[in-house]
Structure 1
Amino acid sequence: MYPEKISETSKGVYIIAATPFTDSGELDLDSCDSLTDFYLDKGVTGFTILGMMGEAPKLTEAETLAVMDRVLGRIDGRVPVVVGVSHASNRHVERLAKTAMDQGAAGVMLAPVANLKTDEQVYHYFATMARLLGPDIPICLQDFPQVTGVHMSVGVILQLIDDFPQVVMLKHEDFPGMRKLSELRTQSADAGRRRISILVGNGGLFLPQEMLRGADGAMTGFAYPEMLVQACALFDQGRADEAEDLYNLYLPLLRHEFQYGLGLALRKETLRRRGAIRSAYVRRPGPVLGAIDMAELGRLIERQAQALRERGL
C-alpha cells in the first residue's frame, strides 16, 4: 500500500528522521524500527529520511539503500515518506530517486550542489534535475544556504514553480528567512501563480512566526515531535495564541537543541533518553557531548517536564 504522493496541499509535520548507529558507529536497523515507531506514535504527518540531519553524506550506498528499505517497510504506507536524494552526481540522484519511488516513497527532497553562484546557475541545476527525474516524481526544493552555500532567490524559486509542475514543496530553511517566506507567498498570490506547500526547518526555531506568514507546517527533527504536531494543528485551526503558548513551553530546549555544530548530538541524546534509539552516536566527523553538555541537557529536559506538569500537560 503506497500513500499519496506529496503535493501542493501537503501540510503538517514531516519529521526529519535521524539515522541511528551503534556505539561503535555501525548502522543500527533495529533502532531504525524503534525510532520510526516513536515518530508514528507522536502523530507525525510524514517522514523525511536521508536528509542532512540524517547524516546521509556519511552513509555508504549500501547503507543508504538499507535505511530506505527498512523505514519504508516499517511505515508500510501509513504516512508519506520524502527521501533526500541530494548528491554531487546527477546519475546518483536519478538512481536513488527512482529506487525510492519504486519502493513507495511519496517524493524526493533535493538541495542544490555547491558552487552555484548566480540565479541562472541555480535555475539551470534544478531544471536539469527536474527533467532528468521526470514529471511523475514530486520534488521538494531544499533551501538551506547555511549548509549548501547556495542562495536561492525568490525569483528563481517562483520560476521553477512556474516551469515544473513536479516542484510541489519547498523546505524553507534560509536564516534569516521570514521575509523570503512572505515574499514568496505575496508574489505568488499577486501573480495568480500555483501555490505550493512550504514546510519550515531550522529546528522549528521560528515556527509561530513562519506559520503566521503562510507556512503549511514543519519539516524538522526536534526531539519532541508531539509539540510540533500539536502546534501546527492549532495553527491550522486558527488558534494561533494557543499554539504559541504551547510552543513557548518547549522553547528553551528547542533553542538549546538548535545549536550549530552540537545540535545533532543533543537531538540524538534526547531521543536516546526518550527510548527511541539505543545509542546517541554521531558518525565522525561529528560532535561529541562532554559531561557538562550532558548535565546541561538533563537539566533543561527536567525543567521542561516540570513546566508541562504544572500546566497539566
Structure 2
Amino acid sequence: MRLDEGTSGVFAIAATPFLPGGAIDEASVDRLTDFYVGCGVSGLTILGIMGEAPKLDQAEALALSDRVIRRAGVPVIVGVSAPGFAAMRGLAHGAMASGAAGVMIAPPPSLRTDDQIISYYRQAVAAIGADVPFVIQDYPLTLSVVMTPGVIRAIVMEHSSCVMLKHEDWPGLEKISALRGFQREGSMRPLSILTGNGGLFLDFEMERGADGAMTGYAFPDMLVELVARAGAGEREAAHDLFDAHLPLIRYEQQQGIGLAVRKYVLWRRGAIAHETQRAPAAGLSAVARAEIEYLLERLGRRDRRAVLG
C-alpha cells in the first residue's frame, strides 16, 4: 500500500481528537478513522497542520500513527515535518515500520531561495532514506515558502522517492497546468497531485489535472463524490455539488478558527466525541456556532448529508 505517482482519489486530512483535558481521545481516534473510511476515502493523512502535529510529542505522534494505520485498512500518509532531521528520521522510520504508505514533508519557513528549497529536500531524503515515498507539501499561505513549478520539477527529478505533491498554493490553478505541461513535454516524470485549501478550488483543480484532494473539509464524502463526478466527465453535476457546499467550505477557511469550525462539524456529524483542540487554540463564539448551524441547515436543503438533527 505504498504511495506511487499513480495515487489518486481523496486522502482526508485527519483531525486529532482530544479529550476535554487535552489528552488524545483514543476512542474518538478509532471512531474518526472509521468515519473517514466509511465516507469512501482512498486514504488518510495524519499529523498534518490540521492534525495539530506540533502539539504532540514524538511518542504521542508515533502511537497515534500506529493506531490509525492498523485500523484504517487504506493507505495512510504521515506528516513528519520537524525542526530537525533527527526528529524527522525518527517519525518517518517509526511510521513506515507501522505500515505507513509514505510521509509528507513541509519546508521550514526559513527557506527563501530556490537553491535553499532544493537543498532542504535533498537533506531530508538523505535523513529519512531514499526508499521512503514522500509528499511535498506546498502551502505558501501558511509556511511562507514559495515553490515555483521549476523548483518542484527539480525535486521530483532528483528524487525517485518523491511521488506526490500536496498542492495548496493560492492562486494555484496555473501551477497545476504548468506541472502537467512539464509532464506532457517530457521534462518531468509523472507525479500525483492532490490539492488542499479545504477544497476551495477543487472544482477547477480537477479540470486542470489534479488527481484528487488531500484536505480536511468536514464532508469528505462530498469530496469523494465530486472527484468521482469530475473523473467521469460530469462537469455540471460536479460544479452543482461544489456550489452547494461552497459557503461552508469558505467559512471553514477562516484563519485562526478554521480548525475549530471543522472539529465542530465533525462533532455534529458524530465522528468525534469532543470538539476539543489542544492548547494553544482558538475557540468558537456562540455567534459563530449559530452561523455554522445556519450554514448546515441551508446545505441540508440540497445535500441530505448535512441534515444532522
TM-score tier by shorter-chain length is over 0.9
Q: 2:294 maps to what in 1?
A: 299
Q: Distance in 1 between matches of 2:246 and 2:111?
A: 35
Q: Per-residue CA shift, 1:185-235, capped at 9, x if unaligned?
A: 112322342110000000000001111111000000110111000010111
Matches within 5 A, 1:216-227: 216-227=211-222
How far the C-alpha of 1:152 sits from its partner, in A, is 1.1
Helix, strand or coil at the partner of 1:219: strand
8 Å contact 1:189–1:195 — kept in the other structure?
A: no
Q: Per-residue CA shift, 1:134-163, capped at 9, x if unaligned?
A: 222101000011111111111111011111
Runs ≥4 residues deviating over 6 A? none
Q: Distance in 2 between matches of 1:86 and 1:7?
A: 20
How far the C-alpha of 1:126 sits from its partner, in A, is 0.2
8 Å contact 2:86–2:127 — kept in the other structure?
A: no
Query: How many positions carry a matched residue from both structures?
Result: 306
Q: Per-residue CA shift, 1:236-288, capped at 9, x if unaligned?
A: 11222211111111111111111111110000000001100011111222110
Asked whether 1:232 is paired with 2:227, we answer yes
Asked whether 1:152 is paired with 2:147, we answer yes
Which of residues 58, 62, 73 in structure 2 aligns to 1:61?
58
Which of residues 203, 207, 210 in structure 1 aligns to 2:205?
210
Helix, strand or coil at the partner of 1:86: coil
Helix, strand or coil at the partner of 2:296: helix
Q: 1:242 maps to what in 2?
A: 237
Which of residues 13, 18, 30 in structure 1 aligns to 2:15?
18
Q: 2:272 maps to what in 1?
A: 277
Helix, strand or coil at the partner of 1:185: helix
Long gaps (5+) in structure 2: 305-309
8 Å contact 1:15–1:225 — kept in the other structure?
A: yes
Q: 1:111 maps to what in 2?
A: 106
How far the C-alpha of 1:51 sits from its partner, in A, is 0.4
Q: Per-residue CA shift, 1:283-302, capped at 9, x if unaligned?
A: 22211001101111111111
8 Å contact 2:218–2:266 — kept in the other structure?
A: yes
Tell me whether 180-189 or 200-209 shows the greater mean CA deviation.
180-189
Helix, strand or coil at the partner of 1:276: coil
Once the two structures are aligned, what percentage of the paired residues are identical?
A: 49
Partner AA of 2:110 in structure 1 = N
Q: Distance in 1 between matches of 2:129 and 2:283?
A: 41
Provide the TM-score with structure 2 as the length reference.
0.96
Asked whether 1:45 is paired with 2:39, we answer no
Helix, strand or coil at the partner of 2:174: helix
Helix, strand or coil at the partner of 1:195: coil
Q: Per-residue CA shift, 1:87-143, capped at 9, x if unaligned?
A: 011011111101111100000000011211100000000011112222221010000
Partner AA of 2:204 in structure 1 = Q
8 Å contact 2:43–2:75 — kept in the other structure?
A: yes
Q: Distance in 1 between matches of 2:124 and 2:30?
A: 32
Partner AA of 2:31 in structure 1 = S
Long gaps (5+) in structure 1: none
Partner AA of 2:284 in structure 1 = L
Partner AA of 1:26 in structure 2 = A
Partner AA of 1:147 in structure 2 = T
Which of residues 250, 255, 261 in structure 2 aligns to 1:255?
250
Provide the TM-score with structure 1 as the length reference.
0.95
Q: Distance in 2 between matches of 1:210 and 1:276?
A: 28
Q: Per-residue CA shift, 1:51-75, capped at 9, x if unaligned?
A: 0000000112221122112111211
8 Å contact 2:10–2:42 — kept in the other structure?
A: yes
